[in-house]
């Protein structure tokens, strides 16, 4: 599944291996001890040889390489795309604005799903003892893709709310009755041969058909969004629960990425509904959700 994905490269592997905190601690301690020893000229080359052996061994491990590859892709989706502190602040504000605009039931549904993700990550890390994967892939590498799924889920909740408000404010039965009445008036005007009345009724009929079609499309979008919300919610549950027993966090990260990349049709629907949700095109930038502070949202 991971074949064909961009590799971080040997220099990135070496950098990550060398700057790993425990390596820096032991290597720095060994160098200091060598310098203080009676024979630094003998011990320093041994320390250097040991460091080279460590770097050569770790950077050739497929699991380590997959972890660094995943980290590199994660950075490219975030700061690697030029995201600044201001961008992150704006993204967080959009997140808070969306949460604040949701009705309590929908906001609580999202917060429960996020809390479930956080809890599953904690359990997964506890199962691994927080030391099985020194790269941090057990939690960090899956966060951007899960954030994207949660952001799609949240925007769908907002779209669903807007559509339901529209449907409550528009009587579909009345629209259909008005359309039938105008069709009858058009036939009557055509029989009388009065062009002025016929033009007026024909224009009114076109407007009525447009309103009916808009109502029907909104109802269809509402049904699609409801199904997508359930589907994405179950998909997120499944992916986070898999993290508890999955033995390869990097491979699971690839699966989460694949699910997130498969949201194209759903995100297109969200973009089409921007006029009624109030979200601009900037909403495509994913805010930090799993690692962010939800205190304000929980209190509201």
* DSSP state letter for 167: H
Domain positions in the chain: 88-299
| Distance, CA of 70 to CA of 63 (rounded, Å) | 11
What is the distance between the terminal CA atoms of the chain, rounded to a whole angstrom?
Answer: 42
Please determine, for residue 272, whether its predicted confidence score (pLDDT) is greater than 50. Answer: yes
Select the more confidently predicted residue: 223 or 295. 223
Residue 283 has pLDDT above 90, yes or no: no
| pLDDT value of position 284 | 57
Sign, CA torsion 178/182/183/188: positive
What pLDDT shows up at residue 78? 52
pLDDT at 91: 78
User: If we measure between CA atoms, which residue out of 141, 110, 138 comes closest to residue 123?
Assistant: 138
Distance (Å, whole) CA 46 – CA 26: 14
Q: How far is CA 254 from the centre of its chain?
A: 14
List the one residue out of 8, 6, 52, 5 whose CA is nearest residue 30. 52
- The rounded distance, in Å, linking the Cα atoms of 205 and 30 is 86
> Of residues 21 and 296, which shows the higher confidence score?
21
Taking 90 as the threshold, does the pLDDT of residue 263 lie above it? no
Q: How far apart are CA 84 and CA 91, in angstroms?
A: 11
The winner for highest mean pLDDT among 81-90, 136-145, 226-235 is 226-235
Q: If you average pLDDT over residues 217-221, what whole number do you get?
A: 90
Q: Which of 164-168, 205-209, 257-261 has the lowest mean pLDDT?
A: 257-261
**Distance in angstroms (rounded) separating the CA atoms of residues 276 and 168:** 14
pLDDT one-digit tens code per residue, 37-87: 888 888 888 888 988 888 888 888 887 777 777 777 666 655 444 455 556
3-state secondary structure of 11: helix
pLDDT at 115 over 80: yes
pTM exceeds 0.85 for this model: no
The secondary element (H helix, E strand) that includes residue 192 is: helix 172-192
pLDDT of residue 69: 76
């Amino acid at each position: 599944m991971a074949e064909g994905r961009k590799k971080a490269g040997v220099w990135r592997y070496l950098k990550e291996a060398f700057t790993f905190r425990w390596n820096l601690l032991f290597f720095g301690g060994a160098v200091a001890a060598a310098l203080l020893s009676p024979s630094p000229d003998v011990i320093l080359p041994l320390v250097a040889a040991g460091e080279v052996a460590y770097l050569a061994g770790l950077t050739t491990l497929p699991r380590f390489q997959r972890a660094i590859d995943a980290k590199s892709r994660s950075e490219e989706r975030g700061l690697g795309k030029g995201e600044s502190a201001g961008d992150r602040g704006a993204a967080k504000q959009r997140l808070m604005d969306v949460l604040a605009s949701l009705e309590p039931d929908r906001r609580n549904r999202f917060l429960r799903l996020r809390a479930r993700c956080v809890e599953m990550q904690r359990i997964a890390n506890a199962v691994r003892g927080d030391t099985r994967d020194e790269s941090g892939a057990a939690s960090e590498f899956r966060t951007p893709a899960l954030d994207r799924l949660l952001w799609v889920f949240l925007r769908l909740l907002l779209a669903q709310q807007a559509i339901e408000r529209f449907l409550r404010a528009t009587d579909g039965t009345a629209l259909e009755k008005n359309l039938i009445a105008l069709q009858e008036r058009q036939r009557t005007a055509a029989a009388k041969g009065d062009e002025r009345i016929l033009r007026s009724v024909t224009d009114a009929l076109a407007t009525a058909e447009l309103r009916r079609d808009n109502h029907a499309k909104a109802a269809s979008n509402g049904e699609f969004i409801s199904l997508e919300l359930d589907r994405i919610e179950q998909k997120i549950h499944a992916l986070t629960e898999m993290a508890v027993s999955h033995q390869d966090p990097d491979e699971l990260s690839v699966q989460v990425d694949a699910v997130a990349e498969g949201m194209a049709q759903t995100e297109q629907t969200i973009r089409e509904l921007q006029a009624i949700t109030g979200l601009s095109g900037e909403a495509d930038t994913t805010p930090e959700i799993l690692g962010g502070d939800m205190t304000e949202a929980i209190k509201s």
